[in-house]
A and B are shown apart, each in its own frame.
Chain A
Amino acid sequence: MKKWHRFSIARFRAMLVKEFIQMRRDRLTFGMMVGIPLLQLVLFGYAINADPKHLPAAVILADHGPEGRTLLSSLQNSGYYNLVRQVKTEVEGHDLLARGQVQFVVNIPENFSRDFVRGDRPELLVEADATDPGTTGNAIGSLSTALNMALQNDLKGPLESLAVNNGPIDLRVHSLYNPEAITQYNIVPGLMGVVLTLTMILVTGLAITRERERGTMENLLSMPTRPIEVLIGKLVPYILVGYIQVGLILFAARFLFHVPMFGSLALLLTAAAVFIIANLAVGITFSTIATNQLQAMQMTFFFFLPSLLLSGFAFPFRGMPGWAQMIGQVLPLTHFVRIVRGVLLKGNGVGSIGLELWPIALFAAVAMFVAMKRYRQTLD
Chain B
Amino acid sequence: MNGESAIDVRGMTKRFGDRMVVDHVDLDVRAGEIFGFLGPNGSGKTTFLRMLCGLLRADEGRGTCLGHDVINESEAIKREAGYMTQRFSFWEDLSIEENLDFVARMYDVKNRRQTVRESLKQLGLTERKDQLAGHLSGGWKQRLALAACLIHKPRLLLLDEPTAGVDPKARRDFWDEIHHLAGEGLTVLVTTHYMDEAERCHRLAYISRGKLLTHGTVADVIARERLTTWAVSGPDLPNLTAQLRERPGVEQTVAFGNSMHVSGDDAVALKQAIAPFRANNYEWHQVESELEDVFIHLMDKSPDTSSS
- Identify the A interface with B (CB < 8 A): 214-216, 218-219, 221-225, 378-380
24 intermolecular pairs with C-beta atoms under 8 Å apart: A214-B89, A215-B85, A215-B89, A216-B89, A216-B90, A218-B55, A218-B89, A219-B83, A219-B85, A222-B83, A223-B78, A223-B103, A223-B106, A224-B75, A224-B78, A224-B79, A224-B106, A224-B107, A225-B106, A378-B55, A379-B50, A379-B55, A379-B56, A380-B57
A-B contacts counted at CB < 8 A amount to 43
**Bound-complex Cα distance A224 to B89 (A):** 16
- With most chain B CB atoms within 10 A of its CB, the pick from A214, A221, A223 is A223
Q: Within the complex, which residue of B50, B57, B87, B107 is in contact with A223, where a contact is CB–CB below 8 Å?
A: B107
- Residue pair B90, A219 in contact (C-beta under 8 Å): yes
Task: Kindly provide the distance from the CB of A376 to the nearest chain B CB, expressed in whole angstroms.
Answer: 10
Closest to A225 in B: B106
**Bound-complex Cα distance A379 to B56 (A):** 6
Q: Digitize B46-87: 1 where CB-to-A-CB distance is under 8 Å, 0 elsewhere.
A: 000010011111000000000000000001001100010101
A222 contacts across to B, CB distance below 8 A: 53-55, 78, 83, 85
Task: Kindly provide the distance from the CB of B232 to the nearest chain A CB, expressed in whole angstroms.
Answer: 45
- With most chain B CB atoms within 10 A of its CB, the pick from A214, A222, A224, A225 is A222
B107 contacts across to A, CB distance below 8 A: 223-224
6 tightest Cβ-Cβ pairs between the two chains A and B: A219-B89, A222-B83, A224-B78, A223-B106, A215-B89, A224-B79
Task: Kindly provide the distance from the CB of B286 to the nearest chain A CB, expressed in whole angstroms.
Answer: 47
Q: Digitize B261-286: 1 where CB-to-A-CB distance is under 8 Å, 0 elsewhere.
A: 00000000000000000000000000
Number of B residues whose C-beta is below 8 Å from A?
A: 20
B174 contacts across to A, CB distance below 8 A: none
Task: Kindly provide the distance from the CB of A216 to the nearest chain B CB, expressed in whole angstroms.
Answer: 5
B89 contacts across to A, CB distance below 8 A: 214-216, 218-219
Task: Kindly provide the distance from the CB of B62 to the nearest chain A CB, expressed in whole angstroms.
Answer: 18
**CB of B92 closer than 8 Å to a CB of A:** yes
Known: A224-B75, A225-B106, A379-B55. 13 other contacts (CB 8 A): A214-B92, A215-B88, A216-B91, A218-B85, A218-B89, A219-B85, A223-B78, A223-B106, A223-B107, A378-B56, A378-B57, A379-B50, A379-B56
**Bound-complex Cα distance A225 to B74 (A):** 11
Closest to B78 in A: A224
A219 contacts across to B, CB distance below 8 A: 83, 85, 89-90
Q: Digitize B27-63: 1 where CB-to-A-CB distance is under 8 Å, 0 elsewhere.
A: 0000000000000000000000010011111000000
Known: A224-B75, A378-B56, A378-B57. A215 touches B106 (CB 8 A): no
B92 contacts across to A, CB distance below 8 A: 214
Closest to B75 in A: A224
**Bound-complex Cα distance A260 to B79 (A):** 56
* Contacting residues of chain B (96-114) with chain A, CB-CB under 8 angstroms: 103, 106-107
**Bound-complex Cα distance A213 to B55 (A):** 17
Closest to B134 in A: A214
**Bound-complex Cα distance A222 to B53 (A):** 7
